[in-house]
Amino acid sequence: MVSPVPSGEVPTPGADPVPDEATDPPRLTWPQVLRRFWPLTRGRRAAMAGALLAFTLAVVADAIGIELLSTLIDGAVEDADLSQFWHPAAIWAGITLCAAALTYLGSVLTASAAERFSRRLRAQTHDHLLTVAPEELDRRALGDVLSRVVDDTEDVEHLTVTGIIDAAGSALAVVIFGIAAWRQSWMLALVVLAAAPVIWLLNRWLTDRTHRFSMRTRVAHGALTSALEQSLTNSALVQAYNARPAERRRLSLVSGRLMTARLRQTRLAAVQGPLTELVETAGLLAVIGIGVIDIATGDLTVGGLLAFTAYLTFLYPPITALGQLGLTASSSGTSAARLVELLDLTPAVRELEPAAGADRRVHHSPPPNPDPTTDPTAALRPVPLARPDLVIENVTVRSPGRADRLSDVSLRIPAGALVMVTGPSGAGKSTLVELLVRFRDPDTGRVLLAGRDLRDFPLEELRDQVTLLPQEPFMFDETVRENITYGVARDPGTDAIRIAAQDSGAEEFLKRLPEGLATPVGQRGRALSGGQRQRLALARALLRGGPVLVLDEPTTGLDPQAADDLITTLRLLTEQGRTVLLVTHDRELTRRADQVVEIRAGRVHRSSVSPHSRTRPIRVGQRLGHSTGLVAVPDASPEPRTSEPRISEPRTSEPWTTGPRTFGHPPDARPSPGRRRTEPPKATTTRSQLIRRERAQEQNQAPAQPS
Ligand SMILES: Nc1ncnc2c1ncn2[C@@H]1O[C@H](COP(=O)(O)OP(=O)(O)OP(=O)(O)O)[C@@H](O)[C@H]1O
């Protein structure tokens, strides 16, 4: 739904910028919040108990101090005797010091427990969101999601950690000061305590009214963040299409709603203070009035009355705090509901629970074990896929209320093949790609990698085996190096980065960057051109490696020569036994594929195997990659002597240092413990060999045999 826009104005996209509050989930009660979030206090409960104990002891110390006030007034002051002053005064000072120290300790322990809780909750929420299907997150306003993760987590903390300590501490304070006041004069204590329910009820009444506004505030806050995020991230479009006035209006609208909700909330809070004060003052005046009568009858001393009024000033704040807990519970209950909604989003795919004691790592014809005595990294290497062939069997992907995104698609992609998928926009190519990395599972049918259903792979293992180059070249606001090496488990070293940059066509522009690899790429890589971003993303995918590469329109933004070079690189990867699936709209490129699959309206329209396809059954052990067991398909003949550098040689030394050429992880890279990576073997074919062979094939001749 697009907001109605007066004619002649540029419409702003998206739904009503301030979602209807009715769409927000119903508020959770405090017990519901505790049931859900209390487990996150694990490891912090001792600190919470310590804080409560410290606050309680501080209250006891304060009560003793007030007793001493009474002693001082009735002794030293009434008798005008300084000798009666020093002793109680010294004790009072000492006790006050202890109370201050205990209050400090309690505050520090509370803050420590609260901050750790918030951090844990934020981490859990963030982690969970990263298991949700990307398209599910895309459906939500990012600003609203951010507001939930940042602000609502704080509110939940207020209820789960600070709220518990405050509630228990205030209740104990009321009991302790109440008993102390009772000991002074039970009649006065009754007068004081009579005001307590009035204060409590007053706050309860205000709670319900405040809840409505706290909910609106939350919703409006999320909408404001979303509006800001959308207009700023699309700033180029906003400026180019003269949409600033429309964006200004949109922001003004959401800002206005936030302002209104906040003002109403503040007005209620502002009423609460004076009303409570009024009740407190009435109680105080009653105490003084009755106290004067008691003093006249000799039932109470002046010191006793003073002590009593002091108790009063200590007693009402915790009573007020108890009343206000309702307000906290109200607004935090709304936040908790918003957070729970995110936490309850179902992950895109579910991992099967491994059977007890089962080893779910991939075991497909494991390669000869590297000798750990001669190869120190052997123990850290993954068990790789020996034959990364893909089989898609009768796969259907449904889309509620719309036509199936894929219908009964079946394909077989042999290991070591370069398969290109083409088809018109919206045909289902990217959906097919999503299945291969399990961004979603098919509704019917299955996908097999190396003969095994993808659902049987641990997700992390699967995504180590299948590297995806998404259609959009995602960039982090970091340096070029950090972007290229993102997702690579260990520092690949400059040589490997250089080679990946060469193969993706990024080297030339990287050389020209003022700070080389240390150049920041800006928000979403905006400091680079679209083509440069695409090349960088490609370099990242090549560097990450893995037995299967899935590239969704990798040649977008590449010039024809760069696109051609990329295919040459991909062919070299298939020479190593990798399986490459490439989605493209470029018909020219498909001439170099082993197999071309055309998808139309979610169905395989045509699938043709190139007559020159070199994909052939691969015998395991025919030529295993030395380190990982990845199958490399060798040339039938010995390598030619050629003037072009072998693919294992560096091409340049600037701005990179020299080093051997490998794909994936270079031999000099140090593995980081605890992470498995697939390490591909070295390439065995030169570019010129490959190009010569392809040309020969195109001319329908036998490949030129190197001399
Ligand atoms: N998140 C989504 N929710 C619902 N339907 C979707 C979603 N994403 C894509 N679709 C629909 O699924 C169908 C296939 O989309 P897909 O992105 O796979 O097409 P494609 O062939 O990759 O297109 P293009 O070449 O334009 O990238 C389309 O009809 C599209 O509208």
- Per residue in 2-56, pLDDT tens? 333 333 344 444 444 444 444 567 778 888 999 999 999 999 999 999 999 999 9
Residue 204 CA to ligand 1 centre (angstroms)? 51
DSSP string, 50-111: HHHHHHHHHHHHHHHHHHHHHHHIIIIIHHT-THHHHHHHHHHHHHHHHHHHHHHHHHHHHH
Task: Give the ranges where 298-382 is alpha helix by DSSP (H).
Answer: 302-343
Q: Which of 398, 431, 555 to mutate to test the pocket of ligand 1 (most atoms within 8 A of CB)?
A: 431
Contact 528/504 with Cβ under 8 angstroms? no
For residue 252, what pLDDT is reported?
A: 93
Query: Hey, how many other C-beta atoms are within 10 angstroms of the C-beta on 347?
Result: 14
In CATH terms, 29-215+274-343 corresponds, of 3.40.190.10, 3.30.450.20, 1.20.1560.10, 3.30.70.1150, to 1.20.1560.10
For residue 686, what pLDDT is reported?
A: 60
Length of the chain: 707
Residue 600 CA to ligand 1 centre (angstroms)? 12
The token pair that represents 175 in the structure block: 């009991």
- Per-residue pLDDT of 629-666, as tens digits, reads 222 233 333 333 333 322 223 333 333 333 333 444 33
The token pair that represents 199 in the structure block: 């204060």
Residue 10 CA to ligand 1 centre (angstroms)? 27
Contact 20/257 with Cβ under 8 angstroms? no
Query: Average pLDDT in the 360-385 region?
Result: 39
Q: Within 6 Å (CB) of ligand 1, which residues are found? A: 135, 399, 402, 405, 423, 425-431, 471
* Best CA proximity match to 312, nearest among 196, 455, 170, 153: 196
Greater pLDDT, 250 or 212: 250
Greater pLDDT, 412 or 359: 412
Ligand 1 atom closest to Cα of 427? 21
Contact 218/23 with Cβ under 8 angstroms? no
The protein residue with its alpha carbon nearest to ligand 1, atom 12, reads 405
CB proximity list for 346: less than 8 A, separation 6 or greater:
132
Q: How confident is the model at residue 181 (pLDDT cuts 50, 70, 90)?
A: confident
Ligand 1 atom closest to Cα of 585? 25
- Per-residue pLDDT of 310-337, as tens digits, reads 888 888 888 878 877 777 787 788 889 9
For residue 652, what pLDDT is reported?
A: 33
Q: Which of 140, 429, 437, 469 to mutate to test the pocket of ligand 1 (most atoms within 8 A of CB)?
A: 429
Strands, sheet with 579-583, edge to edge from the N-terminal-most edge strand: 466-469, 548-552, 579-583, 418-422, 595-600, 603-609
Q: Which of 139, 405, 440 to mutate to test the pocket of ligand 1 (most atoms within 8 A of CB)?
A: 405
The protein residue with its alpha carbon nearest to ligand 1, atom 29, reads 426
Residue 349 CA to ligand 1 centre (angstroms)? 19
Ligand 1 atom closest to Cα of 434? 18
Residue 150 CA to ligand 1 centre (angstroms)? 32
- Per-residue pLDDT of 268-279, as tens digits, reads 778 877 887 787
Instruction: Give residue limits of the domains in the chain.
Output: 29-215+274-343, 388-476+544-613+622-635+645-666+676-698
Q: What's the DSSP call for residue 312?
A: H
For residue 613, what pLDDT is reported?
A: 59
- SS3 label, residue 549: strand
The protein residue with its alpha carbon nearest to ligand 1, atom 31, reads 426
Q: Which CATH class is domain 388-476+544-613+622-635+645-666+676-698?
A: alpha beta
Residue 345 CA to ligand 1 centre (angstroms)? 22
Residue 89 CA to ligand 1 centre (angstroms)? 80
Percent of the chain with pLDDT over 70: 76
For residue 691, what pLDDT is reported?
A: 61
Residue 430 CA to ligand 1 centre (angstroms)? 7
Instruction: Read off the amino acid at residue 312.
Output: L
Q: How confident is the model at residue 114 (pLDDT cuts 50, 70, 90)?
A: very high
What's the whole-number average pLDDT of the chain?
Answer: 76
* Best CA proximity match to 273, nearest among 214, 221, 323: 323
Burial of 372 (0-12, 13-18, 19+ CB in 10 A): exposed
ipTM: 0.96
The protein residue with its alpha carbon nearest to ligand 1, atom 20, reads 426
Q: How confident is the model at residue 106 (pLDDT cuts 50, 70, 90)?
A: very high
Residue 271 CA to ligand 1 centre (angstroms)? 54
Ligand 1 atom closest to Cα of 135? 1
For residue 295, what pLDDT is reported?
A: 82
The protein residue with its alpha carbon nearest to ligand 1, atom 7, reads 135
> Per the omega criterion (within 30 degrees of 0), is the bond before 88 cis?
no
DSSP string, 176-188: HHHHHHHHH-HHH
CA distance 639 to 645: 12
Q: Where are the beta strands (DSSP E) in 364-510?
A: 390-399, 402-413, 418-422, 444-449, 452-453, 466-469
The token pair that represents 304 in the structure block: 């006793």
Query: Average pLDDT in the 110-136 region?
Result: 93
- Per-residue pLDDT of 548-596, as tens digits, reads 999 999 888 778 887 888 888 888 888 878 899 999 998 888 888 899 9
- Per-residue pLDDT of 211-241, as tens digits, reads 667 777 877 887 888 889 888 888 878 888 8
Residue 390 CA to ligand 1 centre (angstroms)? 22
